[in-house]
Structures are given as structure tokens and as C-alpha cells.
Structure 1
Amino acid sequence: MAKVLVTGATGFIAGHVIHQLLEAGHEVIGTARSASKAGPLNQTLSAYAGRPVSIEIRAADLSADAGWTEAVAGVDVVQHVASPIPLTVPKNADELIIPARDGALRVLRAAKAAGVRRVVMTSSMAACAYGWGEARPNPITEEHWSQDNGAADMTPYIRSKLIAERAAWDYVSDEGKGLALTTINPALVLGPVMSGDFSASVEILTQLMSGKLPGTPKVGFVVVDVRDVAAAHVAAMTNPAAEGERFLLGDRFIWFRDVAEVLRREFPDYASKVPSRDIPGWMVHLIALINPPAKQLIPELSRERHISSEKARRVLDWTPRSSEEAVIAGARSLIGFGVV
């Protein structure tokens, strides 16, 4: 069993990574901006696990050097999960890019200096599938990288994931040589939240279930369950064949309309709030003026981005839940916490 540091321990994916690491018998330490997060986090983890959970939280912020030497002390493996995910598009892309890139490098440098043997880093499908225009490969695989070329779909968030992952691989191929790195590149992460404080990715479900959208735009995405994302992180940590590799994670591409249909069928009490008609692209632009999260849908109108997770299935023995199961579990948990 290993002693594992999980960065950004209070996050959506990180909570599930911590839970699965503990279930597998590993010792877990987390980082957060403040050690005071330990109490609420342990309460959340305990409630989800159905048993008492108590992990140490070490204070460390992606935007500063302080704390990282102490955070990685005595650790065998680092699960670097922390990264900013915005609810709205920032005015300045550097608000996301700098902390994502510099934070990843801070973690890697501290890990290398402390003699950590392995880092598993959460990246994203965003680092693979964007900026291609109509020439985009179909499906996208781990061999592909997003093209930072000023295309409309290269949003600040997309660029932050691309630049941070590129910087990580550059580091371990040069200054950090000898430090084993694996990146996990999930598609849109849904599935059960552990509390009412949740990731921006789940905002898609809250938007659909709260009556904020008059209809479903022609936008789609590949979905992956957060529990399966966590499972891949744990498998990548222990599988020697995962060293130096990227792994794209996702079930299949589905349209917004399909998600709405699942929600109306499975949650009839919410059927009147979940939109049942399509809305044209021009209306999405109007909605984005008063509903900022909708702005991130604009570059995705009518686009299909398919990915292959064959490599994760083959190397990590990874089998994902269906997109429908991820949607249903996410919605049920949001209802349970009174979010919608």
C-alpha cells in the first residue's frame, strides 16, 4: 500500500479519488488552500463512505510555492487533481492558464525533490480534441493534441488544460527526468456529487433541472462517470504499463436533447422544468447574455467530438458506466442535496 497525496482534495473528482484510494487500503493525505478544510471534507467523505473517514489536509495553493515541500514530504505517489474549472468565461485567459500551468509545475518539482516515484495528473479531453476545426480526427485518441491556434473553441479553460499538460510532459522529459508521469484525460465528468458544493461540470444538470433553459441547444458531449474517472486514477497509479502514458476517458457522445430525455423519464417530478424542445443557435447567443454559463456552449453548437477510450480499457482494464447512468446518478445526488 502507498502513501498518496491528492491535490485539491475538496474537489469533485478528488473526493472520489480519495474514497477509492481509502477503500483500496492506501494512506491518503490531501491538499487544500487551508488546513481548516479538513473537518468539512472528512464529514463529507464519511457520509459518502458510510463509515468514519479522517484524512490529514496540508495547506498548499497552486498559485504559490509555500506549502508544497511540506505537502509532499514522505509521500510515495501524488495524484495531482487540483485545477481551476470556471463557471463563466474569464475576461483574461491567464486567470486560468497561469495557475493551471504553474501549479502543475510546482507540484511536479516538489514531488521530484522529495523523491516521489510517481505522479498521476488530471488533464482533460480538452487537451486533445479542440482547435482542429472541421479537420478534427474522428475519433480523437491520446495521440492527438488540441491546436492552440486562436480558434473559437479554444476557450481559456481549454487552453489552460492543454498548456498545463504540455508543461508537465516537457518537465518530466527534461528537468524532471526520472519522475514517472501519467495523465488522465476525461471527457465531461458527471455522476454523483458528495455534497451541495460541486464541480462546474455538473452545472449542465442543474441548468436542465432548474428551468433555466427554455430548450435544449444543439450541443453534445462525451460523458464519463466521476467514479470511473477515479478508478482510472487509482489503476494508473499501480500499473507499471501506465507510466509515461495519457488516457482518454469517456463512454459515448450524446446530445443535450438526449440528456434532457433521460432526466424527464427518470425524474417525472422535474419533467415540467426540463426543456422538451430544441432552441436555435441564435437563441443560445441571447441566453448567454443573461445566463453566463451558457456562453461556453456557443463554440460547441452542432459539433460532434468523438473519442476512443480503447487504450484505457486495454491497459488499465477500465470499463466505464454508461452515460445514462452517470446522468441519473448525478441528478439523483443533486436532488438529494437540495441543489435542484
Structure 2
Amino acid sequence: MKARILVTGGTGYVASWCIAGLLSQGHAVRATLRSLDKADRVRSALEKVGHDVAGLSFAEADLTDDSGWADAMTGCEHVLHVASPLGHSGQQTREALVPPARDGTLRVLKAATTAGVKRIVMTSAAATARPSSREDRPARETVWADPDIPDLDPYRLSKILAERAAWDFMARQSGTTSLTTILPGAVLGPLLFADTVGSVQVVQRMLKGQPPALPNLGFTVTDVRDLADMHIRALVAPQAPGERFLVGGQFLWMREIADILRDGLGSDAKRVPGRRMPDSVFRLLALFISDLRMFRADLGRRNDMDTSKAERMLGFSPRPAEVTLNDCARNLIALGLA
């Protein structure tokens, strides 16, 4: 058995793939859960896809509570801090997302540095490195998004404030624990847990014909399997400590995603929308639908990212977006979720 590694948020979409990747490399994994009642579900889901879970254990810990984190860290060499609140539909408020993301991150980092773990790799978001103006330049690791810009949605704000708090905290530490942050785009690909849909809802909804017309929105596709691999590589890459890494593949407009799904799935994509939604209609709908409101500033905006640093230092080589999207869609269909 290699190192024991703590993975936070063990039932999460990204965390599940990190756990699978670590187990396949022979590591011992301790996953945190808000309730240990979910432990058997995690084990069985991983066993169903062929993973030996003998090296998997669990600890009960919640981002909103101090208790449990010190015990969770005991005996762990590294930490993958992947857990972060997404919020439920219609409940993505600052009050619901910012405190658990920022304060929860600090709880994890305090416990990790006190325990003397060697490396912490934390999941952030490409939105934290995005230029705040509408100028046509990609996200880069040297850029910090402005948390005070108007209409910044609560989820992106929570990621910005959590990552800033993490780096500020580590700057005050005198120990040997290092921090690395991974900044993905829109995370897509197959699910390991059928009840953890998360960010793949965009594909799920398109397969169901929602919305009936496609808005002028787009995003950089990050395959969840590539993302998990980059977290694991950052644990061992000699240059990774103290660095931020953008991780993503191709930027696609929603109309391009729809085309890929139709080409790849044939009749299984019969409900994927083909019409385009005028920006004026989207803005009107956003006045009444809170889930749309956060995307108003992104209408017509390309959110490209420069991933050359991850390519150079971590060996990042993204899967083609067509593979990610079609694997995601076929998985949703197989699970009866679309």
C-alpha cells in the first residue's frame, strides 16, 4: 500500500473519480462524508466499476463544523480537498454557498497543517482566474477574478473567496505543508454515483429537451477523468507545490454541444434542442428564473483558458470534447437519468 490520502466530500462527482484513481494506483484512501450512513453506497458504486475497495475507509466530517477534521487527518500523508457546496436549484445564494466554501476550506487547511500533512491539492474553478472585463483574453493562473464585480453569481464568488482564503492562510504558515490549486472549467463526463448529477445537468437537460431553445452561452469542457488525474499528479509533481493550474479542454457554445450530441447519439438525442434563444429573451427570462440570472454576464462571451502550465508541469493532455460529451450522455442514458 502506498500513501494514505484524505479526500474530502467523498460522495461528490469529482471526489468519486479521485477516489477511484487513487485506489487504482494502490493508495489507501480515507474519504470524508457528512454522514457515515453513505459509506456503503460509495463502496458499492466503486466495486460496480471494478475497483478494489479494501484500501478505502471513511471519516465523518462536515465543512460547516469543526468536529471530525482532526481525526480525519490522522495518519494521512496528503489531502485532496475537493468538497465544495453547489447549492440546490433556486437556493444558490451567497449565504448558502460562501460560508461553507470559504470557512470549510479553512477548517480543512487548519486541520491538515496541524496534522503535518505534506501536500494539499484543492479544487478551485477557472472562474477564479478569469479576466473580470469582457476583453478577449483567456483565463490564466496569474489572473485573479474580482469578487466585487456586479452580478457575480454566488457559486463563482464562493470559489474566488475560498481559494483566496486558502492562499492567504498558507502564506501565514511556517510548516512544511504545501498547497496546490486546480482550476477546472465545466466538469463533464460519466458519473460513478447515479444520484450525484452535479455539473452534468447541462447535458442531462439537453437530452430532455431543456431548454427548448439554446441560449448564446458556452464554456470550456473539463473531463472529470482528466480532472481527477490532474489532482493525483499534483500530489507527486515536484514543481506543483505553491502553484495554480488551469485544467480544461475545448471551449464550446451550447449550439455546438447540441450538434456533438446529435452526431454522436443519433436517435438518443432526438429531444436535444436545435433552435437558438435570442439574448433579449434570455435576459427577460432571467428576471424571473434565478437559475438563469447568474449567466446573464456570460451571454456571447468566450471563456477560454490557457492550460500550457498544466501541460508543461503536470503532463496535462485533455480528452477530445466529443469523447467527454458523448461518454457523459451515454452514461446518463444508461443510468436512466435522461
Class of the TM-score when normalised by the shorter of the 2 chains: over 0.9
Correspondence for 1:22: 23
Whole-angstrom distance in 1 between the partners of 2:92 and 2:37 = 31
Count residues in correspondence: 336
Question: After alignment, is 89-98 or 235-244 more displaced?
Answer: 89-98
Whole-angstrom distance in 2 between the partners of 1:79 and 1:18 = 10
Q: Do residues 71 (structure 1) and 69 (structure 2) align?
A: no
Deviation at 1:201, TM superposition (A): 1.0
Deviation at 1:91, TM superposition (A): 6.3
Correspondence for 2:141: 142
Whether the 8 Å contact between 2:13 and 2:193 is mirrored in structure 1 is: no
Deviation at 1:198, TM superposition (A): 2.2
Whole-angstrom distance in 2 between the partners of 1:200 and 1:282 = 28
Aligned Cα root-mean-square deviation (Å):
1.7
Correspondence for 1:112: 113
Question: After alignment, is 241-250 or 82-91 more displaced?
Answer: 82-91
Whole-angstrom distance in 2 between the partners of 1:176 and 1:183 = 19
Whole-angstrom distance in 1 between the partners of 2:174 and 2:109 = 8
Correspondence for 1:254: 252
Amino acid at match of 2:134: E
Structure 2 residue runs of 5 or longer lacking an equivalent are none
Whether the 8 Å contact between 1:7 and 1:79 is mirrored in structure 2 is: yes
Whether the 8 Å contact between 1:236 and 1:316 is mirrored in structure 2 is: yes
| Secondary structure class of the residue paired with 1:30 | strand
Amino acid at match of 2:47: S
| Secondary structure class of the residue paired with 2:156 | helix
Whether the 8 Å contact between 1:247 and 1:311 is mirrored in structure 2 is: yes
Q: Do residues 165 (structure 1) and 158 (structure 2) align?
A: no
Q: Do residues 129 (structure 1) and 130 (structure 2) align?
A: yes
Correspondence for 2:53: 53
Correspondence for 1:80: 81
Q: Do residues 214 (structure 1) and 219 (structure 2) align?
A: no
Correspondence for 1:197: 195
Question: After alignment, is 170-179 or 190-199 more displaced?
Answer: 170-179
Cα distance change on mapping 1:206 and 1:91 into 2, 3 Å: closer
Whole-angstrom distance in 2 between the partners of 1:312 and 1:100 = 24
Question: After alignment, is 245-254 or 279-288 more displaced?
Answer: 279-288
Amino acid at match of 2:65: A
Correspondence for 1:185: 183
Cα distance change on mapping 1:98 and 1:324 into 2, 3 Å: same
Whole-angstrom distance in 2 between the partners of 1:248 and 1:170 = 19
TM-score by length of 2: 0.95
What CA deviation, in whole Å up to 9, does each residue of 1:82-103 have, x standing for no partner?
0011343546412111100111
Correspondence for 1:319: 317
Question: After alignment, is 222-231 or 78-87 more displaced?
Answer: 78-87
| Secondary structure class of the residue paired with 1:242 | coil
Q: Calculate percent identity across the aligned residue pairs.
A: 39
Whole-angstrom distance in 1 between the partners of 2:90 and 2:316 = 33
Deviation at 1:287, TM superposition (A): 4.5
Cα distance change on mapping 1:195 and 1:168 into 2, 3 Å: same
Correspondence for 1:332: 330
| Secondary structure class of the residue paired with 2:301 | coil
What CA deviation, in whole Å up to 9, does each residue of 1:189-214 have, x standing for no partner?
00111132124211100111112211
| Secondary structure class of the residue paired with 2:46 | helix
TM-score by length of 1: 0.94
Cα distance change on mapping 1:299 and 1:177 into 2, 3 Å: farther
Cα distance change on mapping 1:269 and 1:290 into 2, 3 Å: farther
What CA deviation, in whole Å up to 9, does each residue of 1:23-59 have, x standing for no partner?
11111010010112110001111112x2442421100
Deviation at 1:282, TM superposition (A): 2.6
Structure 1 residue runs of 5 or longer lacking an equivalent are none
What CA deviation, in whole Å up to 9, does each residue of 1:118-164 have, x standing for no partner?
1000001021115x1224x6122100111122322x21111100000
